Structure 1
Amino acid sequence: MKIAILGTRGIPNHYGGFEQFAEFFSVYLVEKGHEVYCYNSHNHKFQEKTFRGVNILHQHDPEYKYGTFGQFIYDYNCIMDSRKRNFDIILQLGYTSNSIWFFLLPKRKSIIITNMDGLEWKRTKYSKPVQQFLKFAERLAAISSHYLVSDSLGIKKFLKEKYNKESTYIAYGAHPFTNPNEEILKIYDVQKEAYNMIMARFEPENNLDMVLEGVSMNEEKTTILVVGNNNTKYGEYLKSKYKPFSNIRFMGGIYNLEHLDNLRYFSNIYFHGHSVGGTNPSLLEAMASKALIAAHNNDFNKGVLKENALYFSNPEEVKNILLTIKKNNNLHFVQKNFESIVEEFNWDIINGKYLQLFEECVSGHKARN
């Protein structure tokens, strides 16, 4: 098959979950003998024409100049380019800024499969008008794609109830981490199980403030590493608010997966504050890294972690977790989550499910035509 991946800033990953998936899945498809193209921003750090056999198509992306509006122009450029290439399948990752161009997609030549991501319009970082637009965009994507993918059972149920559209449930994946290297901790000036950690984009619905408030309330000043790009308005607010607390260390973005795996593995508690969306990639990676997880108490997180985590809903509960919980006393949680990665969420299984869906879609499409 000739396959395109659209809707990310590009590969190799220097940004987030969809980019990580695009990197792993595109390479997997090439290894299975398919011809794969991934769209990249023109200013992506990687400027080569191919990446591990994947063809890279750089398109102009003016987000650096126009902010969010630039994403719409980038997606327009990607979609217009896709019209010339006779792809068998175009996989769209998300719908936020590409759905308004649905009428330009080459739907007669290509099968359009869209991963619907989370419920974007619920994100509190967006104003009411933007939330209304995202609801509209979600509807456009749901009704204009040939096939839909849900990354959680909650999203699958929502799409059926809201739009009467069936979707295929395929979660994200993670690689089981089996080679810890304590030497890496020296780079970050921390010691085994003597620090905690939280990793997220700096957005209100990821509850960084809730976790850090609980940390600041705790008299015991264990270091917490706060990982994520903090050069944002919200990031500046949090850095200013928690500047008096030397144990709260804002690390910026860390994209070296070996380093992240080791930091998670050797941490005492890994906090996961995400409250909106489907199966979150960083949560699966924490499970795969054998971290002890304390997660925000919501259905999305519980759907993945089940009873194998600690849960919090406010800063006071975060404070109590910090006071009473040690990783060594909760290794049964760690092992159960690791087994879930091996048996359900590992990349080989996830990539295989996507490829199976593609093959079924092509077969079904040919049968109808």
Structure 2
Amino acid sequence: MKNKKVAVIGTVGLPAKYGGFETLVEHLVKNLNKNFDFTVYCSSISYKNKPRTYNKVRLVYLPLSANGKSSIPYDILSIIHSLFYADVILVLGVSGAFILPFIKIFTGKKIITNIDGLEWKRDKWGNLAKKYLKLQEKIAVNFSHNVVVDNKGIQKHVEKVYNKKSSLIAYGGDHVFKKQLQNHTIKMFNIPKEYAFKVCRIEPENNIHVVLKAFAQTNFNLIIVGNWNNNEYGKTLKMKYKNYNNVFLLDPIYDQIKLNELRSNCYLYIHGHSAGGTNPSLVEAMSLELPILAFDVSYNRYTTQQEALYFKNEIELVNNLNLIQRDNTILKINSAKMKAISLKYYTWKLISERYKTLLD
């Protein structure tokens, strides 16, 4: 019996080097390429070398960016191309969802859509973009055979707003490993002996302003890695806090080994994301057995099973830091719980098996 042909739409491509969806696809095809014949669509703009196969997977390149406004034609063209061969179309994101009704009505293709986080809620989008994304979410939910969500909070949203059931499948985190901090890395980035750590895009919804304001009131060291110069928000914060002795504002680190050294060896991981669903960087931190202090929203509470430490503002963050200073056993208990949760819910073997059930 021949394997089903599965088209994967909506990522920058393989090998993974961009974000959560790309990492998801990397591990799906690794674990399931014996069960399915995968084709993954890739942005030729993002890859200098363009191999036609990767890990026994066929790669198809489009001369468009997979992100921003161009993600719409990128997804549409990928979907149209996939109609000529695919049995199943796995769509990651909702940018091009308006074509799905035609696919469902006029073809026999099975459509599975991972709607990602609630993109239309993100502060970075203008009003027109938010309205578009909200409409695409509605279309994706109503015209996919299966809808995938990565967080219980989004699952509840889909059921409440659209009266639809969805499959809850998060992300794996067990691809990351602890690595000892090297002397040359310490010297390169002027790393203090003990530090809290945060890595993210520098945007208001990630609450960098809250985190910096809190740490500036303490003697705790903090390292934040991000794209500070991409917008006025980041530039303003960098100018305001660059002279604090306990605050280390590092530019993006594209060397994943060095980045993982810094993350692996922090005494506390700060997760300030307030939008979206299950954030891959949070799952990875849990897998690394790091103590988690997360922004208090339902998405983060669902991901951490209510077992992390939480803050809603700089006052609560400072109070948590003071509590940790008085009793450092809190961190040991916290990190052990995070690791146990990650082993139970966030391994790629488990995630892949759940996708396999939908793709069959």
Same fold (TM over 0.5): yes
Alignment of structure 1 residues 192-211 onto 2, 5 Å: 194-211=194-211
1 CA distance for matches of 2:27 and 2:255?
A: 15
Deviation of 1:349 (Å): 0.7
What is the SS of the residue equivalent to 1:198? Answer: strand
2 CA distance for matches of 1:179 and 1:155?
A: 31
2 CA distance for matches of 1:174 and 1:258?
A: 16
Q: Check conservation: 2:308, 2:334, Cα contact below 8 A.
A: yes
In structure 1, the partner of 2:238 is 239
Deviations 1:12-33 (A, max 9, x none): 2222111111111122222x34
In structure 1, the partner of 2:358 is 357
Deviation of 1:100 (Å): 2.6
2 CA distance for matches of 1:318 and 1:37?
A: 45
2:225 equivalent among 227, 240, 243: 227
1 CA distance for matches of 2:44 and 2:175?
A: 33
Alignment of structure 1 residues 328-367 onto 2, 5 Å: 328-329=328-329, 330-359=331-360
Q: Give the aligned residue type for 2:12.
A: R
2 CA distance for matches of 1:178 and 1:282?
A: 13
User: Does structure 1 residue 319 correspond to structure 2 residue 318?
Assistant: yes
2 CA distance for matches of 1:344 and 1:214?
A: 32
In structure 2, the partner of 1:38 is 40
Which shows bigger deviation, 349-358 or 169-178?
169-178
In structure 2, the partner of 1:300 is 299
Alignment of structure 1 residues 155-234 onto 2, 5 Å: 155-175=154-174, 179-183=178-182, 185-186=185-186, 188-190=189-191, 194-218=194-218, 220=219, 222=221, 224-233=222-231, 234=233
Count of matched residue pairs: 350
Deviation of 1:6 (Å): 0.7
In structure 1, the partner of 2:109 is 110
Q: Give the aligned residue type for 2:117.
A: G
Alignment of structure 1 residues 253-332 onto 2, 5 Å: 253-325=252-324, 328-329=328-329, 330-332=331-333
User: Does structure 1 residue 54 correspond to structure 2 residue 57?
Assistant: yes
Deviation of 1:179 (Å): 4.8
Deviation of 1:155 (Å): 1.3
User: Aligned residues: percent identity?
Assistant: 34
2 CA distance for matches of 1:286 and 1:128?
A: 33
In structure 2, the partner of 1:362 is none
Deviation of 1:101 (Å): 2.9
Q: Check conservation: 2:304, 2:338, Cα contact below 8 A.
A: yes
Q: Check conservation: 2:29, 2:55, Cα contact below 8 A.
A: no
- Structure 2 CA distance for partners of 1:328 and 1:319, relative to 1, 3 Å: closer
Q: Check conservation: 1:196, 1:269, Cα contact below 8 A.
A: yes
- Structure 2 CA distance for partners of 1:255 and 1:22, relative to 1, 3 Å: farther
2 CA distance for matches of 1:216 and 1:80?
A: 52
1 CA distance for matches of 2:176 and 2:125?
A: 35
Could you list the structure 1 runs, at least 4 aligned residues long, displaced by more than 6 angstroms after superposition: none
Which shows bigger deviation, 326-335 or 133-142?
326-335
2 CA distance for matches of 1:281 and 1:121?
A: 19
Deviation of 1:70 (Å): 1.9
In structure 1, the partner of 2:118 is 119
Deviations 1:65-118 (A, max 9, x none): xx832222222222232223x2111111111x2113324547624211001111
What is the SS of the residue equivalent to 2:289? Answer: coil
In structure 2, the partner of 1:74 is 74
1 CA distance for matches of 2:81 and 2:44?
A: 13
2 CA distance for matches of 1:54 and 1:228?
A: 32
5+ long unaligned stretches in structure 1:
360-369
- Structure 2 CA distance for partners of 1:104 and 1:244, relative to 1, 3 Å: farther
In structure 1, the partner of 2:14 is 11
Q: Check conservation: 1:62, 1:73, Cα contact below 8 A.
A: no
Deviations 1:206-241 (A, max 9, x none): 1112111212233x162x222233442143343233
Deviations 1:140-198 (A, max 9, x none): 11111111111112211211121121111111111075553232753544255x11111
1 CA distance for matches of 2:41 and 2:26?
A: 11
TM-score for the superposition, normalised by structure 1? 0.87
Which shows bigger deviation, 245-254 or 163-172?
245-254
5+ long unaligned stretches in structure 2:
none
Which shows bigger deviation, 261-270 or 341-350?
261-270
